Each structure stands twice: as C-alpha cells, then as structure tokens.
Amino acid sequence: MIDTQFENIPLKELNRQDEQQAVNAIRFLSLDMIQKANSGHPGLPLDAAPMAYTLFQKFLNFNNRDPYWINRDRFVLSAGHGSALLYSLLHLNGFKVGIDDLKRFRQLDSLTPGHPEWKHTPGIDATTGPLGQGLAMAVGMAMAEKHLSAIYNRPGFNIFDHETYVIVGDGDLMEGISQESMAIAGEKRLSKLIVLFDSNDVSLDGPLKLSTGEKIQDRIIGNGWDYQFVADGNNLSDIDEAIREAKKSDKPSFIEIKTIIGYGTPLQGSSKVHGAAIGEENVAKTRDFYHWPYQPFEIPKDVYDLFNDSHQAKDRYYKSWQESFQLYAEAFPRLAEQLENNDSTLNTDNLKLAENNDQELATRVSSSEVMQQIADQNRTFWGGSADLSSSNKTYLKDQGDFTDLTPQGSNVFYGVREFAMAAITNGILLHGNSRAFASTFFIFSDYMKPAIRLVALQKLASIFIFSHDSLAVGEDGPTHQPVEQ
C-alpha cells in the first residue's frame, strides 16, 4: 500500500532564519534574472516568494529526476509573467535548470523564456501567460485526477492521489474565463484544487481600484469554494496553516494572501515594479533592505542544503509510490500497462458506420456513431459540450456523467462556457493518461480561440468538435453563420 502523502515532513527542525534566507534566495535569483535581462516582472516574484517557498518545500509532491511522474502534484503559475519566480524554484529544487540557464532569462532559445512553456523547461506543468487560462487548465488537471482515480484506483492502491495547486494574480481573476472555470470547479466539487491568490491590489496600469471594486470573497463562496484569508503574505506559519486547512476541505479551496507588490524595493506597492527591471540602484537598495550580502546569482550552500533536505522527504514518498505501483501491476496488469504507456492514443480498431441507403447522414450523426464506438473501446475517452450535446451529437451513451458523486462518468456538462471548456480540455490533456474532447457550434470557436492557440503552442492532442459549420442553419440568421471562421 502507498504511504500517506508527503505533507510537511522535515528531516530536521527548520528555524525561521534559515527559512527566511531560502525565501530571500528565491527573491534575489528572480531579481537578478530580470535585471540581467533588463526585462521582466519583478513585482510578483518578490511578494509571492514566501507562499511559493511554503508550497514547494512543505506540500508539493514532485521528483526532480522524474518530472512527468503521473502522481506528482501539479503546479500552475497562472500569473505566468512571474516566471522568474518559478525558474528560481526549479533551480533550487534540483531540476535541470542551471545558473547559466537563469542568466539567459527571456533570451531566444533559452530554457527560461519570458513565460513558462510546457515540455520546454523541466518541471513546467502548463504553458501560461495569457491570463486566466492557467487557472482553467488547472481545473482540467483536477478533473482528470478525480476521473482517473475513480477508474484506476483500487482498495489499497491510490495510484492517482494528488493535488493541483495554482498561483493567480489580480489579472487572472479579472479575466472572464476565471469565473467560467471556477463555477465549473465548484459544481464538480474538485476538492484537490487549491488556489493561492497573490492579492497585491495593483495591476500594470496602477491601483486595482481604477478598474474594479469586486469583493472577491463573495464570488469565491458563491461559486461553492472554500475561502481563507491570510493577512500577511510574509508570514510563513499562517500560509502553512492555510494550505493545511485547504487540504482538508471537500470543496475547491481559495486562499487570498495579502501582499505588497515588489516588497522590499524602493518602488514597492506601485505599478512601477510590476513589469520592468527596477535598475541597478534600486536592486542595491533592495539588497540592503533584506541584508542580502551576496553577488548576483550567488546562493550560499546552506540554502541549497535546505532545499536538498526537503527532497529526501519527497523521495521517500516517491519510492513508496513506486513500490506500491509494482504490487498494483502484479494485481492489475492490464490497468498498469495502460498507465505505464501514459499514452493518449485512441484505439480505433474496427470502426464502421452503419449502412444507410435511404439518405445521407449528417456529419454530426456519423461523427456520433464513431464516437460511441471509440468510447466503447477506450475507457478514458471523455469530454463534453458547451450546453449543445444534443445538437452536436456528442453525448456518449451508456458511459455515465462526470459529477462529484460519479467521477468515473465520461460526459462533462460545461454549461455555456466555451472558453473555459476548451482550456479545461487542455488541462485534462496536460495531466495525461486520458483523451478529452470539447464541442460546440463552429461560430462559437471565436470564444475558444485563445485556448485553441495554446493547444498549438503546447502540441496537445485536444479534440475540438464544431458542428453547424455551414450556411445550412440559415433560419438562425446571420449571428449563427460561420462565414469568416
């Protein structure tokens, strides 16, 4: 059997001074990257370093030698402009991201591009940058975990048993896709989805109050999520406790963590520190503020040692899972073979259309016939529609519905939320081990276009099905005619 998940199991007692030095190492690696490139976003890495440190070192299950291990916790930096923060964490945690890679931040063909890119940099779980999509893809990852655990787990063998964590900023939550995806996550009760909100009240153009007065707590609770508030984004103990509480919830969890953008710089609290290098003079003053005596890209050995200690605890869980998987493979060889292939290729043997000599079949009808046969042969073929399955003919008969109580079901009801549906489908593919589709009318592909673009950038195998793609629906008028599409 698999041991209890790794959760805050230090090998030795950490004192606050050591932890603060580790947090500051993340801050200054990020700041040094941005200053060397003379380009980037220093605000978020400086203020979010404490929450990111706490999450990575005390909660996040991963293995730096096996970055695509199927039961790792997923982490999505939806606020992808803060990529320097993530690259610093990957370096300190022993992924194949060296100091020289950090020095080439935002340069052509480097391992550290301006925004995170999946399968380009080891340890990145999603390509993010277009705000809001990272959150929606994380919803897809959490859906996939819930679906696959219902299909593959057996008594004593929790093969899929992981969390999906996200860091979002104010901009992520302004995008409409955030509301679409959060509503879906709440309705599906994705209890292993935990969002950390870097709440600094500043966007690129200035104070947040210039564009919104929303009470985010009301929206979160209204969508069926748990909500917590951490008043001091530098308080490691409070952040730790909030994540612990979130892991106990039977709902998706949202932790608002109050921060000061660009904390510790002379420009802190202002939009001036959001999206540009702050200059050598301000970097020097920031070093004085944190009492950081080291040269650019210089990290003391004690910091590396601290990160290495947490890896040993994570390794214990990883090895325990591997040992249990071997027992699982002996008990359930067919299921284990499917998982070891980690393949989204569909079995399409012996597909055929019923002969119909009387009339031609509409393409959506013939498509439906093929989909039913694929679903019969592929247990992890699943997906849904933006409230149009009866028109798209994409409902999978006899396969059940994906709900909180029946997560093994293959039919997902997304509601009229095309953009979130597409991004969630991408998240399901990023998770791995299943193949997902999404469907709507062709005219509404425009609502999905940013997610379709990320399909191409990530080279994903997401299936998008568009029906009513001609002038044949003329009775609906020009609003439903996909002419320019």
- 418 catalytic? Reply is yes
- For the residues of 360-413, what is the DSSP string, one character each? PPPHHHHHHHHHHHHHHH-TTEEEEESS-HHHHT---TTS-B--SS-TT--EEE
Catalytic residue among 13, 187, 418, 475: 418
User: Residue 351 is encoded by which pair of tokens?
Assistant: 């597909």
Q: Please, are residues 140 and 90 in contact by the beta-carbon 8 Å criterion?
A: no
The set of catalytic residues is 418
